[in-house]
Homo-oligomer: A and B are copies of this chain.
Amino acid sequence: MTERFSFRLLARDGQARRGEIITPHGRIRTPAFMPVGTAATVKAMFPEHVKATGADIVLGNTYHLMLRPGAERVAALGGLHRFMNWPGPILTDSGGFQVMSLAKLRTIGEDGVTFRSHIDGASHHLTPERSIEIQCLLGADIQMAFDECTPFPASHEEAQASMQLSMRWAARSKAAFARQAAPGQALFGIVQGGIYPDLRAASAAALREIGFSGYAVGGLAVGEGQAKMLEVLEVTTPLLPEDKPRYLMGVGTPLDIAEAVGRGIDMFDCVMPTRSGRHGQAFTSEGKLNIRNAQFKDDPRPLDPASNCPAARDYSRAYLHHLIRSGEPLGAMLLSWANVHFYQQMMQQLRTAISEGRYQEALADIRRIFPPQASSTTPQGL
C-alpha cells in the first residue's frame, strides 16, 4: 500500500524545527538538504554515494527533463525513480524558474510561457497544467506549483503583478494536480512577492486559501543578499501553516541554510556542493578550501580530517589538487561527493541540535567555520 504524504514535527528550538516527511518512496528527515539532480543525475555522483551521504531526497528539474530526455519517455521507462536508479523520494521543480534563467526568447502570457530550448532551439509551451502533467509523468513524490520567478530587482508594482500571476497559476496547478496525481504524491505552493512584506503576506494568504501539502519560499537567493533574504523569511514563515513543511528554494551556502533553519525552514536545495566540487571548491570543517590553490600542491593531509566520508578521508589534498589541475574526472567525483557529504553532515548536526535545544550553538559553529559575507548565495536551481 502506498504511504500517504505526511509531515510531523518532532522538536522545536525557537523557530527552528525538526521533523519528518513521509512520501511514497520513503522518509525525509527535516531540516533536509536535497542534492540537485538536474538532468536525472546528481552531477558526477553515483546514486549509492548520494544516499550514503545521508541524503533522503533528491531534486529533479522539470525544465531540463522535459527537453531531454522528455517526460513521456521517462514515464514509458518506468518513471524518474527507476530511470535514475534512485529509489528514494524525489522533488521536482515546476520548470518556471529555469525557463526564466536558461531558455531563450521567452514570452509570458496569462496562459503560460512560450520559449525556445537552450539545447536545440525548439519551441516549447509550458503552462501550469503542462508542468503538473510533466511532474506526474516523472512520478515526483513532491511537485511544485508552476510560478514565475519575480526578477530582482523589481518595483513593488512589478513584483505584485508577477506574484498575482503566480497565484493564479498556483490555483491552476492545484486543479491539474487534483485531476491526475498518484496517491501519496504532494503538491507545494510557492510564496512570491519579491522583497516586499505586504506582497509576501498576500501571496502566503492566497496559497493557504488554495491549500497545499507544503509551502515553498521562492524568488530569493537571486541577488538580494543574505541579510535581505533572512528579513524576507522572518516576515514570511510566520504566515505559513505550522503543520506543513516549508521549503526555501535554491539556497544555499552552509551559513544561509543554518540561518534559514532558525527562521523555520525545513527543506533546501542548491547546486552549490556539486557545482563547487566540479570547480575545485571544497566545504570542510576547516571552511571552504579552493583546492586548486598552490598551497595544496604538497599537502599530504586528507581533505577533511574530521569527515568520515571516503572522499574526504582517503585521498590527500595534494592528490585532489593534482586531479583538479589535470582536469581528471575523479577530481570532480571526489569533491562533489565530499561536499554533498559535508552538507548532509551539517543537516544532521542541525537536526540533533534542535532536538537538544542547542540550535544557536550549532549555528555559531557554522558561522565560525563560514564567516558571514555580504552576498553568499548563488541563484537558485541552476
Write 18 A-B pairs (CB below 8 A) sorted by A numbering: A39-B323, A40-B322, A41-B328, A41-B330, A43-B328, A43-B329, A46-B330, A46-B333, A68-B326, A69-B318, A73-B297, A73-B298, A77-B319, A82-B316, A83-B316, A83-B319, A83-B322, A329-B333
State the Cβ distance, A313 to closest chain B Cβ, in Å: 10
A185 to B45, CA, bound (A): 36
CB of A11 closer than 8 Å to a CB of B:
no
User: Are the CB atoms of B39 and A319 closer together than 8 Å?
Assistant: no
Interface string of A67-87 (1 = CB under 8 A from B): 011000100111000111100
CB of A300 closer than 8 Å to a CB of B:
yes
User: Are the CB atoms of B76 and A330 closer together than 8 Å?
Assistant: no
CB of A196 closer than 8 Å to a CB of B:
no
**A69: B residues at CB distance < 8 A:** 297, 318, 321-322
A377 to B300, CA, bound (A): 39
A322-B68, A330-B43, A330-B46 known; A314 and B73 CB under 8 Å?
no
Taking Cβ atoms with an 8 Å cutoff, the residues of A that contact B are 39-41, 43-46, 48, 68-69, 73, 76-78, 82-85, 297-298, 300, 310, 314-316, 318-319, 321-323, 325-326, 328-330, 332-333
Q: Pick the residue among B41, B73, B310, B329 that contacts A44 (CB under 8 A).
A: B329
Residue of A77, A82, A85, A322 with most partner-chain B CB within 10 A: A322
**A329: B residues at CB distance < 8 A:** 41, 43-44, 329, 332-333
CB-nearest residue of chain B to A330: B41
User: Are the CB atoms of A85 and B315 closer together than 8 Å?
Assistant: yes
A84 to B330, CA, bound (A): 10
User: Are the CB atoms of B77 and A318 closer together than 8 Å?
Assistant: yes
**A43: B residues at CB distance < 8 A:** 328-330
